[in-house]
Amino acid sequence: MWRLPRALCVHAAKTSKLPGPWSRPAAFMSTLLINQPQYAWLKELGLCEENEGVYNGSWGGRGEVITTYCPANNEPIARVRQASVADYEETVKKAKEAWKIWADIPAPKRGEIVRQIGDALREKIQVLGSLVSLEMGKILVEGVGEVQEYVDICDYAVGLSRMIGGPILPSERPGHALIEQWNPVGLVGIITAFNFPVAVYGWNNAIAMICGNVCLWKGAPTTSLISVAVTKIIAKVLEDNKLPGAICSLTCGGADIGTAMAKDERVNLLSFTGSTQVGKQVALMVQERFGRSLLELGGNNAIIAFEDADLSLVVPSALFAAVGTAGQRCTTARRLVMDRPGNYVEPTIVIGLAHDASIAHTETFAPILYVFKFKNEEEVFAWNNEVKQGLSSSIFTKDLGRIFRWLGPKGSDCGIVNVNIPTSGAEIGGAFGGEKHTGGGRESGSDAWKHYMRRSTCTINYSKDLPLAQGIKFQ
């Protein structure tokens, strides 16, 4: 799904002396954007010149102080003191203690807390969306839309809090009941990427909370102010309800914190959003301890336009999917496959490559679109599926048979399979995620809540006999 450059990879970049925001000259207090009158609104989010990047019921941080920058002009915004390994240890302990309280609260009551979080975010939607635009770099309307997505998933989670649970199954034994019981996993670690610094955390946080879990968040270092601002909003809701703040903990940091989370057996589920390369490392570290991971990794998404496609839909869809969020969405369209030639706007369009060119099979986090021509349906479906990633895909056609072949077992092998809409812009009601090198994880809607819980099959004998399954009798 989304890449995580400059997050878990910060340590590698430092040691290899690659340029990055951590290597820029220190900014004096007077030059920080937060001190300039036109950016006074940042203080409405509780931000200041130097912000503490650790929250576990109280704010702190004993790690490195970093400066965050506006990517549009490299102007320094403010500073954040990151977590040390000692801060991380303390935060995990407090989160585990907070879970003992949170797990005992009925799910609908937990949903009420999530509803209040959504309302608090809604009150700050414009100013928080402005911070997303300033620190991450996407346009304002997308920044506000990202906060809206967190609000929407909170609303969704409130209803879900009254619906989670398992079935009562018929037992083959008389006087027995068979029940599927779902319980929270415990502590959910959430590592998010720079390109969606609010929404992806929201997907995980809202659903994990109503399931009875506590959360530990590590956002990308380059969007640390957003992580702090969001956590301040949540912390106020928890405080107002006299609940432990460690239910939603925060440890801003780099590779040391991310690695600690991946290796920590106390982290019952680790949700990682980032590049396929780093995701492999995370998956191996988690699997080595037989832990659970939820991976949302890279995408290499195709739009296929057939001869009967409605061009009034294709053109705006391809434009949005290719260049929206500066091409930095996991669902960004990388490949446009047409059945005939056309006229295209340079420089974001690349033509003349073979469909299996190595660069066309690599996720490029930029608004670059590779255009190909196909001969028939079977060929173009195969091209869609030949890349290693399997996140999002879309066809444009009016042929009903083709649509259902596209949705069927010999059609798209992606987790998101669209018809006559772009590859980007998923709704929160459906499960979000992909197959193959995209990681296989699912977040947001549908039954994605099951990732955040553990399942028990429970057999209850309410009779006075002891019949065995499969009719086994010992003489």
Q: Are residues 317 and 202 in the same domain?
A: no
Is residue 44 included in any domain, yes or no? yes
Domain edge (last residue) among 253, 275, 296: 296
The one catalytic residue in 296, 363, 377, 443 is 296
Is residue 438 included in any domain, yes or no? no
Is residue 357 included in any domain, yes or no? yes
Is residue 466 included in any domain, yes or no? no
Is residue 153 included in any domain, yes or no? yes
Is residue 435 included in any domain, yes or no? no
Rounded Cα–Cα distance for residues 191 and 200 (Å): 9
Q: Are residues 287 and 315 in the same domain?
A: no
Q: Are residues 311 and 289 in the same domain?
A: no
Rounded Cα–Cα distance for residues 201 and 391 (Å): 19
Residue 384: domain span: 301-428
Q: Are residues 253 and 314 in the same domain?
A: no
Q: How many Cβ atoms from other residues are within 10 Å of residue 321's Cβ? A: 28
Q: What tokens does 23 get?
A: 């290597």
Provide DSSP, 402-428: HHHHHHSTTS--SSEEEESS-SS---T
Query: Which stretches of the chain drop beneath a pLDDT of 50?
Result: 1-23, 343-347
Q: Are residues 214 and 331 in the same domain?
A: no
- Are the C-beta atoms of 78 and 68 separated by less than 8 Å? yes
Nearest CA to 248 among 84, 54, 442?
A: 54
Q: Are residues 264 and 365 in the same domain?
A: no
Q: Are residues 291 and 311 in the same domain?
A: no
Provide the residue type at 125 as one letter.
Answer: I
Domain edge (last residue) among 263, 296, 329: 296
Distances, alpha carbon 248 to alpha carbons 79, 466, 474, in Å = 22, 46, 53
- 296 tagged catalytic: yes
- What are the start-end ranges of the H helices in 304-409? 311-323, 377-385, 400-407
Please state the three-class secondary structure of 171-197 as a single string: CCCCCEEEEEEEEECCEEEEECCCCCC
Q: Are residues 57 and 110 in the same domain?
A: yes
Q: Are residues 394 and 275 in the same domain?
A: no
Is residue 63 included in any domain, yes or no? yes
Q: How many Cβ atoms from other residues are within 10 Å of residue 262's Cβ? A: 24
Predicted confidence at residue 328, as pLDDT, reads 84
